[in-house]
Amino acid sequence: MIDVYSWPTPNGHKVHIMLEECDLAYRAIPIDIGAGDQFTPDFLAISPNNKIPAIVDADGPDGKPISLFESGAILVYLAGKTGQFLGNTDRERYQTLQWLMFQMGGFGPMLGQAHHFRIYAPEKIQYAIDRYTNEAQRLYGVIDQQLSKTEFLAGDHYTIADIAVFPWTRSFANQGIDWADFPHAKRWFDQINTRAAVQRGVQVLADLRKPLTDDKAKDALFGKTQYAKK
Ligand SMILES: N[C@@H](CCC(=O)N[C@@H](CS)C(=O)NCC(=O)O)C(=O)O
C-alpha cells in the first residue's frame, strides 16, 4: 500500500494520475494546505519543504518502507517500480526525463507565478502580470512546437512527462492562455484528458478543495504562516 499525502492541486494530481495509470493500491491522505497542515511535524518529517505531494511506500526498495517528496522524484520512482511510462528505450527514457525536468524547473513554477499574480495577488502589479503571462505564453509555445512533431512530449509514447505537464494546463485560462494560439498542445490536451485514469486521478480529493478566499488560507500559502521564523 502506498500512502499519498496530497491535495487536489496540479502537483498533487500528477501523482494521483500516475497511481491510477499504474493501477497501484494507494490511500490518499489529505494535507489541507490552506489550513496549514503542511507545517505539522509529522508531515515535515516526510516532506521537509512543507509542500505536497509526498508518498510513503511500505513496500519500497529491498522491501523496506521509503518516503519521498517532490512530485518529479515520485513519478520517476513509481515509473521505476512498475516499469511503466518512462519510455521503452534509453533514448526515450532520457527524453522523458528532459521534459520532466522542463516541467519541474520551468513550466510548473512559472505557470504558478502567472496564476498567482493574475488571480491571487492582493494588488494587481502590471509588471508581474505581464512578466509571467508572457513567460506562460512562451512555455506553451515550447510544448506546442514539440507536439507539432511528436504525439506525446517525449516522442511516440505517453510518459511521466505528459503526466507532469498535463495537470498544469488544466488552469490555462487563469494563466492567460488561449488554446487557439496553441493548436498542437490543445490536440494533446484533449487526448490526455480523455484517458480514464486521468479522469479518475483529477477527482482524487477534489471534493475537499475550496476557493482560496479566506485570510487564514492566504497566510498559510503566501503570508505570515508560510514565512514564520522557526
Ligand atoms: N516542486 C514541488 C512543488 C510542490 C508544491 O508547490 N506544492 C504546493 C501545492 S501545488 C504546496 O504544497 N504548497 C503549500 C505551501 O507552499 O505551503 C513538487 O513538484 O512536488
User: pLDDT (tens digit, 9 = 90+) per residue, 138-178?
Assistant: 999 999 999 999 999 999 999 999 999 999 999 999 999 99
Question: Is 198 exposed, middle or buried, given 0-12, 13-18 or 19+ CB atoms closer than 10 A?
Answer: buried
Closest CA to ligand 1's atom 12: 51
Whether the per-residue pLDDT at 230 is higher than 80: the answer is no
Whether the per-residue pLDDT at 229 is higher than 80: the answer is no
Q: What is the dihedral of CA 121, 122, 124, 125, to 10 degrees?
A: -70
Ligand 1 atom with the smallest distance to the CA of 14 is 19
Give CA separation, 75 vs 15, 83, 165, in Å.
7, 11, 12
Probe target for ligand 1 pocket from 18, 51, 111, 218, with the most ligand atoms within 8 Å of CB: 51
pLDDT score, position 225: 86
Portion of the chain with pLDDT greater than 70, in percent:
100
pLDDT score, position 56: 98
Taking the centre of ligand 1 as the mean of its atom positions, its distance from the CA of residue 126, in whole angstroms, is: 25
Closest CA to ligand 1's atom 11: 51
State how far the Cα of 138 lies from the Cα of 215, in Å rounded to an integer: 33
Residues 87-106 have a mean pLDDT of: 97
Coil, helix or strand for 61?
A: helix
- Going by their DSSP bridges, the two strands 54-57 and 26-30 should be labelled as unpaired
pLDDT score, position 152: 98
Residues 119-132 have a mean pLDDT of: 96
Length of the chain measured in residues: 230
Task: Pick the closest to residue 33 from 23, 43, 46 (CA basis).
Answer: 43
Is ligand 1 within 6 A of the CB of residue 71? Answer: yes
Whether the per-residue pLDDT at 25 is higher than 90: the answer is yes
pLDDT score, position 40: 97
Question: Is 52 exposed, middle or buried, given 0-12, 13-18 or 19+ CB atoms closer than 10 A?
Answer: buried
State how far the Cα of 31 lies from the Cα of 51, in Å rounded to an integer: 9
Portion of the chain with pLDDT greater than 90, in percent:
90
Q: How confident is the model at residue 69 (pLDDT cuts 50, 70, 90)?
A: very high
Probe target for ligand 1 pocket from 52, 165, 205, 225, with the most ligand atoms within 8 Å of CB: 52
Cell (9 digits) for 157: 509514447
Cell (9 digits) for 213: 478566499
Coil, helix or strand for 39?
A: helix
Whether the per-residue pLDDT at 101 is higher than 80: the answer is yes
Q: What is the pLDDT of residues 195-225, one digit of tens each?
A: 999 999 999 999 998 877 788 888 888 888 8
No. of helices (H) and no. of strands (E), the chain: 10, 4
pLDDT score, position 50: 97
pLDDT score, position 226: 86
Distance between first and last Cα of the chain: 34
**Type and span of the H or E element at 4:** strand 2-6
